[in-house]
Structure 1
Amino acid sequence: MAAKGISTIGAASRSLSSSLMAAAKEPDVENLRLIEELTSNVDAVQERVLAEILGRNADAEYLDKCGLDASDTDRATFRAKVPVASYDDLKPYVKRIANGDRSPILSTHPIIEFLTSSGTSAGERKLMPIVTDEMARREVLSSLATSVLNVYVPGLHTGKGLYFLFARSETKTPGGLTAQPALTSVYKSEHFKRRAYAYTSPMAAILCEDASQSMYAQMLCGLCQRHDVLRVGAVFAAALVRAIRFLQLNWAQLAADIETGELNPRVTDPSVREAVAVILRPDAELAEFIDRECSRGDWTGIVTRVWPKTKCLNVVVTGVMAQYILTLQYYSGGLPIVSGMYASSECFFGLNLRPLCGPSEVSYTIMPNTAYFEFLPVGEAVDASNLVELARVEDGREYEVVVTTYAGLNRYRVGDVLCVTGFHNAAPQFRFVRRQSVLLSIEADKTDEAELQRAVERASSALLRRRGASIVEYTSRACTERVPGHFSPALPHWTLAP
């Protein structure tokens, strides 16, 4: 089924075909129609979004200092008066909000929380402001992504997803606002809780801040419901690889718990134990099956062996996560790998409208209703006059993405470098290339993560595979023992191929 799905998706890159629309079910039909409408009217939607943002935030201090008032909602005035901004430019304003200043600083709508960035920009965790209605916009985009996947992989609603999802601890700013990772905010949202029935993991296990207890409980519940699982995933590929590794190390204890129907004492969180007790029952037959499959030492296709109805993997495999593609193909027996959505702490960007495409072909169509988007051509000076609007980017060219959000980030440099790969209707499609600030630099040489990935793949193909070995994951280290200095991959994990 997977191979057939992959072979029929090429025509959908320009518009969703009538056959796909006809096969869709409500409410997916309405969502697909919305995608077609938005992508056919990109420039008009972007103009409306910018006018809305500027109109509602006209009384905010930041825009006032830029010289804008309530009547200045057009693009020309915006481009002339509002500068391109980095996080350092906005940090004084963000700090005041975090310290308790409730005046309209960046936005006239109250900031309800901060989302913390992942720390990929020079290791610094940034605070991204969020307003109440931002969550609704993110829920809409998530719903659109679900509808697209439902069309290409029918029947997913009839089963469950085994997703390994992990919440992290939240903190409070001096002014009392919550600061937490974007994914943690999603997991704690009412929208996610309403959809908890679609996952094998109970909410208590996902929200448990002890990663070890959370992983154990999620894997155990996934095994108990193995015949209900139609998709397996995590947010990033690394997390799914580590979940399979966790099964390799802990299958015997998991089987023992299933045989007795008693949860291991290593899980001490009362809410997790209570939630797992609803699912876990004595099942000697399942325990014997796990013992038989996992004791063989052969982990080829383990995903479909343990969860036989699985139709796809759902993980991000773009950027640095590309290093895990071969490992996931090995564990899954070649299931399609879906990278469905492109999002960040700043805002949600867009969708992969060809979810069953090969991992190297993943491109995202930016939805023009989520924020106002501009693009700085790579290699050009950081100047407001150099920015290009969403509808006017050029095919094949690389850009750094710049966003203006409803929460008050104005012409903010996200730091992601994207390459235009084509168009869906009038909407450009982008391949994620790299983080702008993530470069290896030594002896005046600049190497980005994509180049490092290609170097590792070439070395693996030439040196390891012929010896029956493959790389599971890697990092890099600086070698300065000889001149000129250089970087080399450090390989913390490798395996013998079957």
Structure 2
Amino acid sequence: MSTISDFNEEEKGKVLQDLTSNAKQIQDDLLKEILTLNAGTEYLKDFLHGGLHGRSAKELFKKNVPIVTYEDVKPYIDRVVNGEPSNILSVLPITNFLLTSGTSAGASKMIPSNIKFLEGYAFIGDLILHVINKHVKGVEKGKGMLFFLTSHDSRTPIGLPMGSATSWYLKSDYFKNRPSSWYYSYTSPDEVILGSDSKQVLYCHLLCGLVQRDEVMRIGSIFASIIVRVIKLLEDSWKELCWNIRSGHLSEWITDSGCRNSVSIVLGGQPRPELSDEIEKICSEESWEGSMAQYVPTLNYYCNDLPLVSTAYASSESVYGININPLSKPEDVSYTLLPNLCYFEFIPLEGDDNDVVDLVDVTGFYNKAPQFKVVGRENVVLSIETDMTKEEDLFKAVNQEKLVLNSSGLRLVHFTSSTDISSSPGHYVIYWEVKAENKDIKGLEFSEKTFLECCLAMEDSLDEGYKYGRVHGTIGPLEIRVSIQDSHMHKI
């Protein structure tokens, strides 16, 4: 995939027009390229019987290659993870595995990846730059206050990296050697972006942005939930941030060496009492009122008249499309599919009990490229950030706590659940109605001990995405609100 980073705005606009006007042909050519390259792989050869040999790639693909779930392909992926050659699945060498937020059998899916993914990430960034330039005047005159977080990568038995798609891009040479345009100009040094401790990183992002507040033209993150966390961080820590700015020195608890050294350079040991006073005056005001759709009301409150922009839609499997109308309201956003990034099939939903599946509604076309709106995720009942807890997982967790509950002489009568994002980080809330088998509850102290054990049992039973969030501070402790028949509600 050729880079367009050196193209002028007119040339980038022509690229977008060509892609969307010839979507069908580009998709057909891409499928043919994929099948021709990979016909000899162990996974495809039994379906394709040796290659295309003049046959239509699309008809052969639809007739011979079945629709599968992750679990169908997982045995092949596991073999590569454990050291067998990449060509089991792909002629191009598999360089790493991307861990998804959606889970399968209680663990993140491992998506094989290679250089093509990074090319797609860089390509879509160049097109987003073109679209934003077209719709938002003056944005190129400042910097972006972007709250990037990188995950803690692990490795396969043979040493291939495993981590999130965003982290892989941020740690790659594509990001390190990114173009010198406004779109890639940030208030935070790269050392902060690549920091390992999310609490320290978000604090340093916020501090760097406040110090350079006159240059900030846009604020953003990969996930809306992170912006809400930052707002809460500002609410809790503005006095300390003001002290850093007033003194020109960083707080001692920032121990990540990359963060500490780079932010100290930004501060420069230079006291800024006027800026500190200005921020302190604003933050001293009394009012701090306070998926991604669940965060829109909070963001709307703090953004006032500023536009909320969703630029693109992507996952660990691929980058899908961009928002060519960036100033549309969040609830009205549709993404325009880019046909050169991967081969797409739109399949009517019939239900799937195992996988987390994105549900999309095709809302129209831009030229001849489909536009789609993400309407939800099948089977997901609870989500704070990148965690995706399915109904099935929730029931398994409830069944574990019932073992604790039953042994104490209490019985669960009804339950429901929700998320609470009024505090940061957000957390799961489970509502229970319980009753005593012998109709004799021996005081609230006994009940609290029992329900605390239930909380721990439930958290231990939830999937790896939830546990990752708990360990790294993006999800708060699970809360159980208990209504005891013939008694009052209690929070544990």
Give the alignment's TM-score, normalised by structure 1.
0.73
Q: Does 1:334 align with 2:305?
A: yes
CA contact (8 A) 2:430 2:480 kept: no
Q: Does 1:378 align with 2:349?
A: yes
Structure 1 counterpart of 2:340, one-letter code:
N
Give the CA deviation at 1:294: 0.8
Q: Are the structure 2 counterparts of residues 471 and 170 from structure 1 closer, same or farther at C-alpha, using a change threshold of 3 Å?
A: closer
Q: Are the structure 2 counterparts of residues 120 and 244 from structure 1 closer, same or farther at C-alpha, using a change threshold of 3 Å?
A: farther
Quick one: which of 360, 368, 392 aligns to 1:426?
A: 368
Structure 1 counterpart of 2:286, one-letter code:
G
**Which runs of structure 2 are paired with 1:190-229 in the superposition (5 Å)?**
190-195=173-178, 198-229=185-216
CA contact (8 A) 1:261 1:282 kept: yes
Quick one: which of 282, 298, 311 aligns to 2:271?
A: 282
For residues 289 and 275 of structure 1, the distance between their equivalents in structure 2, rounded to whole angstroms, comes to 24
Q: Are the structure 2 counterparts of residues 490 and 146 from structure 1 closer, same or farther at C-alpha, using a change threshold of 3 Å?
A: farther
Identify the residue that residue 78 of structure 1 maps to in structure 2.
Answer: 61
Quick one: which of 413, 426, 430 aligns to 1:477?
A: 430
Greater mean alpha carbon deviation, residues 196-205 or residues 427-436:
196-205
**Which runs of structure 2 are paired with 1:325-404 in the superposition (5 Å)?**
325-379=296-350
**Which runs of structure 2 are paired with 1:314-329 in the superposition (5 Å)?**
320-329=291-300
Identify the residue that residue 15 of structure 2 maps to in structure 1.
Answer: 34
Identify the residue that residue 17 of structure 1 maps to in structure 2.
Answer: none
CA contact (8 A) 2:23 2:339 kept: yes
Report % sequence identity.
39
**Which runs of structure 2 are paired with 1:39-78 in the superposition (5 Å)?**
39-71=20-52, 74-78=57-61
Quick one: which of 216, 223, 226 aligns to 1:236?
A: 223
Q: Are the structure 2 counterparts of residues 57 and 26 from structure 1 closer, same or farther at C-alpha, using a change threshold of 3 Å?
A: closer
CA contact (8 A) 2:146 2:221 kept: yes
For residues 479 and 305 of structure 2, the distance between their equivalents in structure 1, rounded to whole angstroms, comes to 27
Q: Are the structure 2 counterparts of residues 150 and 123 from structure 1 closer, same or farther at C-alpha, using a change threshold of 3 Å?
A: farther
CA contact (8 A) 2:77 2:110 kept: yes
For residues 44 and 26 of structure 1, the distance between their equivalents in structure 2, rounded to whole angstroms, comes to 24
CA contact (8 A) 2:225 2:292 kept: yes
Q: What does the per-residue CA deviation read over 1:234-281, in whole Å, with 9 as the maximum and x for residues that have no partner?
A: 111110011011011111111111111111101011221111122113
CA contact (8 A) 2:39 2:48 kept: no
* 3-state secondary structure, aligned to 1:419: strand
* 3-state secondary structure, aligned to 2:96: strand
Greater mean alpha carbon deviation, residues 225-234 or residues 150-159:
150-159
Q: What does the per-residue CA deviation read over 1:33-57, in whole Å, with 9 as the maximum and x for residues that have no partner?
A: 1111111111111100101111111
* 3-state secondary structure, aligned to 1:126: strand
Identify the residue that residue 263 of structure 1 maps to in structure 2.
Answer: 250
Give the CA deviation at 1:134: 2.7
Give the CA deviation at 1:29: 2.2
Q: What does the per-residue CA deviation read over 1:170-209, in whole Å, with 9 as the maximum and x for residues that have no partner?
A: 0010121100111111111222223486011111111111
CA contact (8 A) 2:103 2:356 kept: no
Q: What does the per-residue CA deviation read over 1:393-418, in whole Å, with 9 as the maximum and x for residues that have no partner?
A: xxxxxxxxxxxxxxxxxxxx882110
CA contact (8 A) 1:122 1:438 kept: no
Q: Does 1:291 align with 2:274?
A: no
For residues 188 and 124 of structure 1, the distance between their equivalents in structure 2, rounded to whole angstroms, comes to 24
Give the CA deviation at 1:300: 7.2
Q: Are the structure 2 counterparts of residues 134 and 361 from structure 1 closer, same or farther at C-alpha, using a change threshold of 3 Å?
A: same
CA contact (8 A) 1:474 1:491 kept: no
Give the alignment's TM-score, normalised by structure 2.
0.74
Give the CA deviation at 1:324: 1.0
Give the CA deviation at 1:99: 0.9
* 3-state secondary structure, aligned to 2:88: coil
Q: What does the per-residue CA deviation read over 1:317-358, in whole Å, with 9 as the maximum and x for residues that have no partner?
A: xxx211111111111113111011010000100011111101
Q: Which runs of 5+ in 2 are unaligned?
A: 1-5, 382-389, 393-416, 436-477, 482-492
For residues 184 and 338 of structure 1, the distance between their equivalents in structure 2, rounded to whole angstroms, comes to 22
* 3-state secondary structure, aligned to 1:375: coil
CA contact (8 A) 1:121 1:438 kept: no
For residues 32 and 433 of structure 1, the distance between their equivalents in structure 2, rounded to whole angstroms, comes to 29
CA contact (8 A) 2:111 2:317 kept: yes
* 3-state secondary structure, aligned to 1:184: helix
Identify the residue that residue 125 of structure 2 maps to in structure 1.
Answer: 142
Give the CA deviation at 1:93: 0.7
Q: Does 1:164 align with 2:106?
A: no
Q: Does 1:110 align with 2:110?
A: no
Give the CA deviation at 1:114: 0.6
Quick one: which of 377, 381, 384 aligns to 1:435?
A: 377
Q: Are the structure 2 counterparts of residues 218 and 30 from structure 1 closer, same or farther at C-alpha, using a change threshold of 3 Å?
A: same
Q: Are the structure 2 counterparts of residues 279 and 54 from structure 1 closer, same or farther at C-alpha, using a change threshold of 3 Å?
A: same
Q: Which runs of 5+ in 1 are unaligned?
A: 1-24, 302-319, 383-412, 443-454, 461-469, 483-488, 493-498
For residues 71 and 329 of structure 1, the distance between their equivalents in structure 2, rounded to whole angstroms, comes to 53
Give the CA deviation at 1:456: 9.3
Identify the residue that residue 131 of structure 1 maps to in structure 2.
Answer: 114
Identify the residue that residue 135 of structure 2 maps to in structure 1.
Answer: 152
Aligned length: 392
Q: What does the per-residue CA deviation read over 1:67-106, in whole Å, with 9 as the maximum and x for residues that have no partner?
A: 3433356111111111111111111111111111125111
| Larger Rg computed on CA atoms | 2
For residues 279 and 127 of structure 2, the distance between their equivalents in structure 1, rounded to whole angstroms, comes to 36
Give the CA deviation at 1:363: 0.8
Identify the residue that residue 253 of structure 1 maps to in structure 2.
Answer: 240
For residues 123 and 349 of structure 1, the distance between their equivalents in structure 2, rounded to whole angstroms, comes to 25
For residues 52 and 200 of structure 1, the distance between their equivalents in structure 2, rounded to whole angstroms, comes to 41
Identify the residue that residue 487 of structure 2 maps to in structure 1.
Answer: none
Give the CA deviation at 1:140: 0.7
Give the CA deviation at 1:217: 1.0
